[in-house]
Chain A
Amino acid sequence: MPIDCKHIRNFSIIAHIDHGKSTLADRLLEFTGTVEKRQLKEQMLDDMELERQRGITIKARAVRMEYVHKGERYELNLIDTPGHVDFHYEVSRSLACCEGAVLLVDAFQGVEAQTVANAYAAINQDLAIVPVINKIDLAYARVDEVLVEMEQSLAIDSAEVIKASAKAGIGIEDLLAAIVERVPPPKGDPNAVLRAMIFDSHYDSYRGAITYVRLVDGTIQKGQKIRFLETGTTHEVIELGQFVPQRRACESLSAGQVGYLVCNIKDVKQVHIGDTVTIPGDAAAAALPGYKPPQRMVYCGLYPSEGENFEELRDALEKLAINDPSFEYQPESSEALGFGFRCGFLGLLHMEIIQQRLEKEADLDLVQTAPNVTYQILKSTGETIEITNPQDVPDSGQIEEFRQPIVRTNFLVPAEFIGPIMQLCTDRRGTYLKTEYLSPTRAMLTFDLPLAEVIYDLHDKLKSVTRGYGTMDYELVGYFPADLVRLDILVGGKKVDALSIICDRRDADRRGRAIVKKLRGEIDRHMFEIALQAAIGTKVIARETISAMRKNVTAKCYGGDISRKKKLWAKQKEGKKRMKSIGSVDIPQKAFMAVLDTGGTERT
């Protein structure tokens, strides 16, 4: 007998980072008796070690809880969402599995950029919003002001806001009651043809891919044959069940429920987030709307620091990709760095996470080139190509249109910082769209900005100009033409392919100067003079020189002196090993990130 939809509630918690989402989730699990208090690891839902380290949720998770309200027993499915902008698409897929969202706002921090972004994402998907103001027990809580902000920015009736403290366990019962009362039950027909959405997956080394699904219609049984519409593959359900929060197998799942499938799938690449699960054959249900392939926004080159580790790097990347289908890699070669891979990521955070895993799990020493966004080029032949590596930019004669990704960016800042934000965005060639006041003291500014200007350091700059109070969020608007050029860097007269960047022509001088200056500081003096040049095509636009070393000789070499000196020389040798030689110039690995130096201080 399938569970009746009216006893199911599916919801997410959405919040700005640090507003207490994980603590609240833990409290709900504890309060509903899903886990006992002593079993609670901190941040139950973030089970990847890295997530715990960084205190952010990267991958969606789903937990089933039971709660008795007014004598009726309910199944509550909490679907966790990633908190970072890199994982926007996964957020939207998770929300698509819910009928409601708990909107959590910190009683001191107030409404922030991701609060707005996530709340709008939920509102746009017609979810019922259960607003919560968290940390009300803190001495510096400013509950009334934050209520006004919520009303102004998100049209939330302050009477509906539940006042809670996840940490102190205040308001948890009210919240559970509100979830049951305000979040509508899922609409779905358990007797219709099976239709379920995949909203996440992860890889288990024993069971293969674990596929997370929300059933929309129909039921699914153990042993049944199913079909993934997007990938067009058919599988047998070997196990299915729910997370409580560990996996618990059951015989069937029906419309409205959330759970997992194990289908003996060895490669997560076959499991596409947003894909529809149905039955094989002609009677299959139609696809659910909204599937999009993951969009990689940022690319960089990853090279083994010692060339012979190429195969090891390939193995490590393959392993990572098994667990993370949104990450992509392709072999490439660079004159400067040898054989490596061009890797695509959802965003910069995603890139950092992958890189950390590589270094940690595979123990590989890597050279990373500076990340770049993807560009589009319309060639004079009429063909449009995607550029993920500055090296692939064709001659200017062949370029009809050079396009870059533009993102719409919202900044939520105390009103006194509007000026500095305007300045910051104008410097980065942003287009101002609007300012909205959430309260007399807090404003939301919206700009369209080149993604390239956003990802590298805008977040840090925002934090510094707003003394930590500003927050931002962005989403891709599209690719738009701009006057872009490839800037090459020459070291000792030789072009170093891995140092080329794409930038706005108007910024080229400044960037070029900043890069060669930075490189001058990164590259040690050699026995000969080294010229550092930045050039567009054959035209040199900036130049620096590293003068030759004139004298480098140990004066005293008596008795025990040489033992001491040998240690120093050995250190130099170690250092040298980790450098890349271009011609006869040794370039330290971190110099390959020098191109990120935007010459910020020179901006006017």
Chain B
Amino acid sequence: MNIRHAYVHVPFCRHRCGYCDFTLVAGRDDLVERYFSAIERELSRVETPLHLDTLYLGGGTPSHLGPRGLRRLFGILRTRLASAAQCEVTVEANPLDVTDAFVEAAADCGVTRVSLGGQSLDATTLRALDRDHAPVDVVAAAERLRQRGIVVNLDLMIAAPGQSVADVDRDLEAAVGLSSEHVSVYCLTWEKGTAFDSQRRKGLVAAVDETVERAMFERAIDRLEAAGYEHYEVSNFARPGFRCRHNEAYWDCRPWEAFGPGAARFDGRTRSTNHRSVTAWIDRVLAGADFTGDRDAMTDEQAARERIVVGLRRRDGIDRGPFLDASGFELDTLSGSAIGGWVAAGLAIDDGRRVRLTREGMLLSDGLWADVLGA
């Protein structure tokens, strides 16, 4: 199979943010060496080097490796993961890590795009989110990257504890002022087992009311669209030509490779996720044991149904012709009646060729998928 996309998970952070439930270790830099060995070992799965259109280093905080660590990692990756022409290479970064030396190293490694975990450009909100950087760090990092010709994504988080709609408006103004090529907007989620969630259970912090949260999110959509960003997927906004091609590969259900703890790969039918514990993944890989956790094996029809879900989360929606070509199923055979119901309820628009969700439908879309995924 011709795999053109790869993800590498770098599970290190300086500290764990209170809302975060990702696969990572904080304050365990002692594991970095073994992690490199394990990545090297896992890469040996790949017999002939891949020629990639996109490569994405996510985390955790890949930038936490520092300039030298980044060079090391790319040195290892490049033995098996080669860039094709125009390859998009993204690295996630904490603004604090984006020093001149880091930018230098990134450019040397072929990085074309940096995703900045800015979250907010307001000091109070950053504190509420338990982040360790200041607004100026975000501005400085973006500026450094731009000067080096690296495309910037800014991650923005809204609906933080204590945040008002006016706060969000101010953050959006600042974000637009930063004029990154790409913006991702996420409403804070209260994941089970996180420090935030336990504080909320104790009544120490409160989640933003759902109606307010929706208003915040709609403000973000409106403001960013007004500033010339395309809202091309639920959480993602890009200036023309700057969509994240790596993420689009996920949503096109193209196969991709993945390496590192908790990383998920997809062969077109089955999605396998590596063991989510960092140490267990390292130990198992190095011991030559099975390091895969969940395996989501789908029939052609299930894969096609999943394609509907990820497709409809995109603003472009689903074009019936290409859908049939890619999945082997008629869209309407799988979901015709559900779609009819959504159109009638104002949740979707269907021009006969293309189906896409309205804003209302997008905002409520989780409630629609049970009907699509059911056999």
Contacts and interface: CB of A to CB of B under 8 A. Distances in A.
B334 to A, nearest CB: 15
Interface-centre pick from A551, A554, A563 (highest chain B CB count, 10 A): A551
B364 A527 contact: yes
B273 interface: yes
B370 A563 contact: no
B358 to A, nearest CB: 12
Interface in A401-452: none
A558 B263 CA distance: 10
Contacts of A558: 58, 247, 250
Given A551-B217, A559-B7, A566 B373 contact: yes
A562 B363 CA distance: 17
25 contacts: A527-B364, A527-B367, A551-B187, A551-B364, A552-B363, A552-B364, A553-B363, A553-B364, A553-B366, A554-B234, A555-B187, A555-B234, A556-B186, A557-B313, A559-B256, A559-B258, A560-B273, A562-B310, A563-B271, A563-B294, A563-B296, A566-B373, A569-B373, A570-B370, A576-B370
Instruction: Return the 7 tightest CB-CB contacts between A and B, nearest first.
Output: A560-B264, A573-B370, A551-B214, A563-B296, A550-B214, A559-B264, A560-B273
Contacts of B247: 558
Contacts of A555: 186-187, 189, 234-235
Given A557-B313, A573-B373, 12 more contacts: A527-B347, A550-B214, A551-B217, A552-B366, A552-B367, A553-B365, A554-B365, A557-B234, A557-B250, A557-B251, A560-B271, A563-B271
B234 A553 contact: yes
Nearest to A569: B369
A205 interface: no
A322 B77 CA distance: 74
B118 interface: no
Given A551-B210, A556-B186, A562 B309 contact: yes
B345 interface: yes
Interface-centre pick from B213, B235, B258 (highest chain A CB count, 10 A): B235
A572 interface: yes
Interface in B172-225: 186-187, 189, 210-211, 213-214, 217
Interface in A533-591: 549-560, 562-563, 566, 569-570, 572-573, 576
Summarize A's interface: helix, strand, loop or mixed: loop
Contacts of B306: 562, 566
A563 B367 CA distance: 16
A569 B370 contact: yes
B362 interface: yes
A554 B294 CA distance: 20
A554 B258 CA distance: 22
Nearest to B373: A569
Interface string B336-372: 0000000001010000000000000011111101110
A553 B312 CA distance: 12
Contacts of A527: 345, 347, 364, 367
B366 A554 contact: yes
Nearest to B188: A555
Contacts of A576: 370
Interface residues of A, number: 21
Contact of A559 (B263, B345, B347, B371): B263
A550 B363 CA distance: 7
A252 B58 CA distance: 89
Nearest to A563: B296
A552 B214 CA distance: 9
B372 to A, nearest CB: 9
Tier of interface size on chain B: 35 or more
Contacts of B250: 557-559
A560 B258 CA distance: 10
A31 B52 CA distance: 87
Contacts of B273: 560, 563
A570 B7 contact: no
Interface in A240-298: none
B214 to A, nearest CB: 4
B322 interface: no
A560 B263 contact: yes
Nearest to A555: B186
A558 B7 CA distance: 10
A267 B238 CA distance: 76
Contact of B362 (A549, A553, A563): A553
Contacts, number: 86
A551 B310 CA distance: 18
B262 interface: yes
A550 B251 CA distance: 25
A556 B211 CA distance: 20
A556 B235 contact: yes
Nearest to A573: B370
Nearest to A528: B345
Contacts of A559: 7, 58, 250, 256, 258, 263-264
B301 to A, nearest CB: 14
Contacts of A554: 234, 365-366
Interface-centre pick from B235, B251, B294, B369 (highest chain A CB count, 10 A): B369
A586 to B, nearest CB: 11
Interface in B111-165: none
Nearest to A568: B366
Nearest to B212: A550
Contacts of A557: 233-234, 250-251, 310, 313
B241 interface: no
A566 to B, nearest CB: 6
A550 B210 contact: yes
A572 B373 CA distance: 11
A556 B370 CA distance: 18
Contacts of A550: 210-211, 213-214, 363
A551 B370 contact: no
Interface-centre pick from A555, A560, A570 (highest chain B CB count, 10 A): A560
B278 to A, nearest CB: 15
B374 interface: yes
A91 B346 CA distance: 64
A285 B299 CA distance: 75
Contacts of B213: 550-551
Contacts of B370: 569-570, 572-573, 576
Interface string B229-242: 00001110000000
Nearest to A547: B211
A438 B70 CA distance: 88
Interface-centre pick from B211, B263, B366 (highest chain A CB count, 10 A): B366
A195 to B, nearest CB: 65
A549 B360 CA distance: 11
Contact of B364 (A549, A569, A573): A549
A552 B367 CA distance: 7
Nearest to A549: B364
B284 to A, nearest CB: 17
A572 B368 CA distance: 10
A192 to B, nearest CB: 72
B263 A552 contact: no
Contacts of B7: 559
A566 B296 contact: yes
Contacts of B186: 555-556
A557 B307 CA distance: 12
Interface string B273-293: 100000000000000000000
A573 B310 contact: no
Contacts of B256: 559
A460 to B, nearest CB: 30
Given A554-B234, A555-B186, A566-B306, A549 B367 contact: yes
A576 B368 CA distance: 12
Interface string B244-257: 00010011000010
A569 B366 contact: yes
Nearest to B374: A573
Interface string A204-244: 00000000000000000000000000000000000000000
Interface string A505-535: 0000000000000000000000100000000
A557 B236 CA distance: 11
